[in-house]
Structure 1
Amino acid sequence: MKNIFILISFLPMVLFAQQRDSRTREYLSPVRVVWQQEGQLIQGLDNLLLSGNGQSDLVNRNICKITSTDKCHPAILLDFGKELQGGLQIVTGAPAIHDPITVRIRLGESVGEAMCDVNGVNGATNDHAMRDFIIKLPWLGVMEVGNSGFRFVRIDVLDDSVELQLKEVRAISIFRDIPYKGSFRCNDERLNRIWQTGAYTVHLNMQEYLWDGIKRDRLVWVGDLHPEVMTVSTVFGYNEVVPKSLDLIRDLTPLPGWMNGISSYSIWWLLIQRDWYYYHGDLAYLKEQRSYLVALLRYLITKVGADGVERLDGKRFLDWPSWANPIAVNAGLQGLMVQAMKAGSELCKILGDNDLAVECQAVFDKMVRVAPIVKEALLRSGVAPDAPGSKQAASLLALAGLMDPKEADQKYLSVNGPKGFSTFYGYYMLRAMAAAGNYQGACDVIRQYWGAMIDLGATTFWEDFNIEWLPNAARIDELVPDGRKDIHGDYGAYCYKGFRHSLCHGWASGPTSWLSEYVLGVQVVEPGCRVVRILPHLCGLKWVEGTFPTPYGIISIRHEVGIDGKIKSRIDAPSEVKVLSSAK
């Protein structure tokens, strides 16, 4: 009987412990006080900047005391130094009165967002994650609240005539504790910081699943995933979050449905499968996708007319800045469908479905034959080279072989520099510029466009950014001075107006994988990185060095321009990886 009792007692633990969190928690103290209200009623505010231990005690040493009156209600705004995903830990002291104290907490990705109200006009919202809420803090205790993406925290005391004692206010950063296996360094610190910021942006979004944004939408959007997956492969190597997310959206989307309701996003799922297999060589995983992948290809084929023009239904979407340009969307979807047929043919050969591989190739050939018609339609539309959408369409046409990359670069991509770039499709614009041989121009755009976000105080890259927002814009880490524009609250469109705009969006990480692929020069030639080509383009840099993860280990690389102007390379790769090396 005793053994039976032990077994029965243990069963509930076994039955209900179904999922363990693979992430870790790190507690961060604020790095500065940005602002305070009714400062004469606040004592020891700098004590909150000290390192804490998360434990209340009876000593009451290094306490911040915030005292309200019936007319004055103090408030503070703290900066944790960088964007993070998680919540807040508040450790309280022991004032004379033991009653709980009511406070209002506001989390913000910018100072402006942390200082604003949810008023239905400025875009501020509690959608997806609570960032503005009221709680009661215990006497001599610890309270953990919140689950959002933020950097700044405002705390207002709401009760009349109380003394709030704060021992600690710490951010709870929740993330996957994984090494950065890939790296990039060169003699241009601006490029180094951009590479690292893109990597960190995606790292924060590697939560339970691979999210688009840590404040909004915290969802698996498949189109958003492609740039993120390229960054994951470049920086972290294999990680479970990618197949886990791809499988989730597959299982949520029985055919003939489109993933996320968007036809192009089902194409992106297919392209991710191709790229993921090339980087990691996991044939077993690819075979698990066979039934869905084959059915998806057959369905996509039905969406190509006899004239070779795509007829995709569902929501026809590239990215938000191109949304108002249907001509560009049509051209871009043609380019995506061509890429889908090419990837489908490759994957079907690997999976042994030769008949479908041939069929995909035939559709590819038919679609390529109408390339001049598609291009002329784009040109006849009267769309200016720097208008929203045209750079998106031109990049996809160039990458699909439907437009000569040099023509796409000269007529569209390089016109007016970063004007018309977008954070999501900027990655494909950079790749199309590389296909045209304009590596220097692409590096310049990276410095100007993504670098501008850093200049404005960003520690992660944003859902969208328009270079025309820059004049007279204040930084996101300061109170907006009179006469200056709030680049977070005053801008944005479509689903990201004002403070609803996500300032940590994984699809904006394109420069990270691009710099590793084209400047450091690592290109995967055969699945599983069995063969890689090292083809650096230093673009005026004196040296560049870095690492690249493969299933067999790390490739270490350094390129340096010698006194004769030639690039001298040092490459150390695992024995299982064949390296084809060349320098320009």
Structure 2
Amino acid sequence: MKNTYTAEVNIGFGVSELINNDSNMNKIILIIGCLIATTTAFAQQISTWIWYPGDYEVWLSNNMQNRRTDRGTFFPPFWKMDSHYVLVEFSKEFDLPADEEISIYAEGKYNVKINGKMLPGAPTKVMLQKGKQKINIKVYNQGNVPALYVAGKNVTTDSDWNATYEDKEWIDETGKASDQSGTSYVKAGKWNFNGPTARPSTFKLPVKPQQALSQEKQGKGILVDFGKNTFGFLTLHKLVGTGRLNIYYGESREEALSTKTSETIDLLEIHNQQPQDSTLDLSKAFRFVYLEPEGTVRFDEVSMQYEYLPVADRGFFRSSDNELNKIWDVAKYTMELTTREFFIDGIKRDRWIWSGDAYQSYAMNYYLGFDSESVKRTILALRGKEPTISHINTIMDYTFYWFLSIADYYRYTGDKEFIAGIYPRMKSLMQFCLDRRNSDGLMKGLAGDWVFIDWAEGLSKQGEVSFEQLLLCRSLETMAMCADLVGEPKDNQHYQQEAQQLKDKLFAYYWNDQKKAFAHSRIDGKQTDNVTRYSNMFAIFFNYLNEQQQAGVKANVLLNDQVQQITTPYMRYYELEALCALGEKDYVMKEMKDYWGGMLKLGATTFWEEFNPAKKGAEHYAMYGRDFGKSLCHSWGASPIYLLGKYYLGVQPTAAGYSQYEIKPYLASLAWMQGKIPTPKGEIELYVSKNKIKVKSPVGTGTLKLRSKVVPRVKQGQVKHISGNDYELVLEKGIAYEVDYKY
């Protein structure tokens, strides 16, 4: 919320006219008052808590990811966990128009220097004199992130402050301070802690009460059903007695009732002499909860505190197909549950930040809440701190997805400031990757590397897998783009050359003219016979293939049932995107309804980590050799949000931040559809039927691309004929367009 006053006044006539009319004196007073209030509000800047960039994200992600338990046992992440810098100096120079008092708040011990002079103690108020003032404040905190909040009329903490964890100043034997500094400074990090009492270390997601749908006697205990998958803290009402209370959580009824193999449990010792309401300390994911009391323990009923991240409800989709609408709604709810302090993979089992899962969450987010802050937090948390000793999440392909996520972030937001801040960490991570190439300049799994690709039975990870080279090539192109954005021409040229050399090798080593596809891998310098979908479908939407090669991949791989099928929503997302890019949107619509609709027919209230229609009953819940190892609420299951927004409503940016964009709607089997697509400056609103299109955008310049059997008619703008039945209409921001056409 902006802390300013805004006045809309009519100044179409002169002030002399107002003065000559006594009845307008109130208007003069209103105008002057509004101008004074507005001027004052703009002069009073907004303060926010700041820290060394990335440190709070690392600290917060550590807290979140270490909440995972496996049947009550603490289960930390597999990878290296970093920590914040414990001593940080913040500084900024100001030129003050008048004397000014500032208030200082810090998370940790601190000292203050004004114009190089140390002030005594740890002052909470400081009077600054008119003119140039340089403020340096050092904050130390071992347990939490050193953070600073300064508030004054002109002096406020924001992302323009400098931060450093170094202090390379020195003095000589006479006590004279050096006149040169080797200290590196970066712009401070921030989020939304905009008041002195909103301390970053105390942040918690909000909660709200949620009631159970039903409660029934089952065996020795009570089975509670909340009606759908949910996440939060269980509350036991009027809990009383002495003994034990065993609690078994389940995303399915079967899991909650399986006391020996359910994934998450609580075993509580109860000693309550008087009935009391008790809310458990650790959040859990569940739909069903089975509670078995022992001794004299009893309770009245069970409810929960639903935990969530407040995100604006911006994206929207509705159509003439109710099943498709339900798919979109369940995908939206899946995203709501897996969007927490960060974008996580699944709410039940891992509750960790996985780069491959997050990469897809970002894409869905751009068509749903467009929560840029969550994207940045997650990117920073995944990158962690130097030194770099392993791939992100230890997975080679997840490192490359991290680079790709930054390219997408810039494309959708146009946020060059974030690119400038993250670029040094991009360079060091890319160098880590390039240093691990073999003598042929290719990536191959080394000791400690997890080559993941997908959960697929028998999928070979041996040798130099073409998929990894493809992702590295795209990552190098991302590096070149970012180098150009931050004004590093030598870096730009270097990364462009590396990308082109790798792309040449990709075709030389892996393209098979007979199979008209990329081979899966290369072992001992020889191309293997196996062809899989992964490299081939990514090459489609990376636009690496010419028309003839695209046609070959489409026929011989993507539409070929003899090539190993994909069963995870994770890779199904990319497969369907590739088919959309090849013009197979009717096919994709049917597949989307069959695949995600298949989960709905089995009672899914959120979308799963993996779905195989051939499985029966409780087989659907098993994974990783465990009866209920599968996540039934997994972020990568929500991809219809992205597919429907980008390829059916047909909206996507063609220049950074939607300064330019295209709308290419496709109805497929639908009679009509409508939606809202969020952008950095509001929502693009779109309605499409078989004879009318309505569109209005608050941002940039767009191009509406449509096919019509007749010449389209429009009152605003001018329709341009391209060829055949293809037409285009230029869209300017703020104008509501109505197009009459024939689909």
Decide whether the 8 Å contact of 1:201 with 1:460 is kept in 2: yes
More moved, 240-249 vs 132-141: 132-141
Equivalent residue, structure 2, for 1:430? 576
Distance 1:253 1:209, change over 3 A: farther
Equivalent residue, structure 1, for 2:694? 570
Question: Residue 104 in 1 paired to residue 246 in 2?
Answer: yes
Question: Residue 507 in 1 paired to residue 636 in 2?
Answer: yes
Question: Residue 359 in 1 paired to residue 499 in 2?
Answer: no
Q: Tell me: higher relative CO, structure 1 or 2? Use CA pairs within 8 A at least 6 residues apart.
A: 1
Instruction: Figure out how many residues of one structure are paired with residues of the other and give that number.
Output: 496
Code of the residue aligned with 2:267 in structure 1: it is F
Q: Distance in 1 between matches of 2:303 and 2:690?
A: 46
Pick aligned residue for 1:271 from 388, 404, 407: 404
Q: Distance in 2 between matches of 1:179 and 1:328?
A: 45
Residue 272 of structure 1, CA deviation: 0.6
Equivalent residue, structure 2, for 1:537? 666
Decide whether the 8 Å contact of 1:301 with 1:360 is kept in 2: no
Distance 1:101 1:147, change over 3 A: same
Equivalent residue, structure 2, for 1:153? 289
Equivalent residue, structure 1, for 2:611? 465
Decide whether the 8 Å contact of 2:338 with 2:345 is kept in 1: yes
Distance 1:518 1:329, change over 3 A: farther
Code of the residue aligned with 1:164 in structure 2: it is R
Decide whether the 8 Å contact of 2:609 with 2:631 is kept in 1: yes
Code of the residue aligned with 2:371 in structure 1: it is Y
Q: Distance in 2 between matches of 1:538 and 1:350?
A: 37
Q: Distance in 2 between matches of 1:322 and 1:222?
A: 22
Equivalent residue, structure 1, for 2:682? 553
Pick aligned residue for 1:143 from 278, 291, 302: 278
Residue 240 of structure 1, CA deviation: 2.1
Equivalent residue, structure 1, for 2:646? 517
Decide whether the 8 Å contact of 1:557 with 1:570 is kept in 2: yes
Identity of aligned residues (%): 23
Bigger share in helix: 1
| Cα deviation code 1:277-314 (max 9, x no counterpart) | 11111111111101111223344344556756444642
Distance 1:431 1:284, change over 3 A: same
Residue 533 of structure 1, CA deviation: 0.5
Q: Distance in 2 between matches of 1:486 and 1:208?
A: 32
Distance 1:398 1:253, change over 3 A: farther
Decide whether the 8 Å contact of 2:612 with 2:620 is kept in 1: no
Decide whether the 8 Å contact of 1:185 with 1:192 is kept in 2: yes
Residue 208 of structure 1, CA deviation: 2.1
Pick aligned residue for 1:455 from 601, 612, 616: 601
TM-score between both structures, scaled by the size of structure 2: 0.62
Residue 399 of structure 1, CA deviation: 3.1
Pick aligned residue for 2:624 from 486, 493, 497: 493
Pick aligned residue for 2:381 from 248, 264, 274: 248
| Cα deviation code 1:136-189 (max 9, x no counterpart) | 273321111141111111111222xx47340x3112210012232011111112
Distance 1:328 1:410, change over 3 A: farther
State how 1:371-382 maps to structure 2 within 5 Å.
Answer: 371=507, 373-376=509-512, 378=519, 381-382=528-529
Residue 225 of structure 1, CA deviation: 0.6
Decide whether the 8 Å contact of 2:611 with 2:620 is kept in 1: no
State how 1:277-292 maps to structure 2 within 5 Å.
Answer: 277-292=410-425
Bigger share in strand: 2
State how 1:86-235 maps to structure 2 within 5 Å.
Answer: 86-92=232-238, 99-100=241-242, 102-118=244-260, 122=261, 124-126=262-264, 131-136=265-270, 138=272, 139-145=274-280, 146-159=282-295, 162=296, 164-166=298-300, 168-235=301-368
Distance 1:359 1:306, change over 3 A: farther
State how 1:57-72 maps to structure 2 within 5 Å.
Answer: none
What's the secondary structure of 1:290's corresponding residue? helix
What's the secondary structure of 1:321's corresponding residue? coil
What's the secondary structure of 1:548's corresponding residue? strand
Pick aligned residue for 2:550 from 389, 396, 405: 405
Distance 1:163 1:135, change over 3 A: closer
Q: Distance in 2 between matches of 1:542 and 1:328?
A: 49
Q: Distance in 2 between matches of 1:271 and 1:334?
A: 14
Residue 99 of structure 1, CA deviation: 3.5
Distance 1:335 1:178, change over 3 A: same
Decide whether the 8 Å contact of 2:311 with 2:371 is kept in 1: no
Residue 324 of structure 1, CA deviation: 2.9
Runs of 5+ in structure 2 lacking a partner? Answer: 1-120, 126-195, 513-517, 521-526, 708-743
Q: Distance in 1 between matches of 2:482 and 2:314?
A: 28
| Cα deviation code 1:496-554 (max 9, x no counterpart) | x3312211111222221111000010111111111111011222211111001111111
More moved, 553-562 vs 335-344: 335-344
What's the secondary structure of 1:441's corresponding residue? helix
Q: Distance in 1 between matches of 2:395 and 2:533?
A: 21
Equivalent residue, structure 1, for 2:217? 36
Distance 1:279 1:103, change over 3 A: same
Question: Residue 395 in 1 paired to residue 537 in 2?
Answer: yes
Decide whether the 8 Å contact of 1:228 with 1:506 is kept in 2: yes
Residue 328 of structure 1, CA deviation: 10
Q: Distance in 2 between matches of 1:436 and 1:430?
A: 10
TM-score between both structures, scaled by the size of structure 1: 0.78
What's the secondary structure of 1:345's corresponding residue? helix
What's the secondary structure of 2:350's corresponding residue? coil
Decide whether the 8 Å contact of 1:327 with 1:378 is kept in 2: no
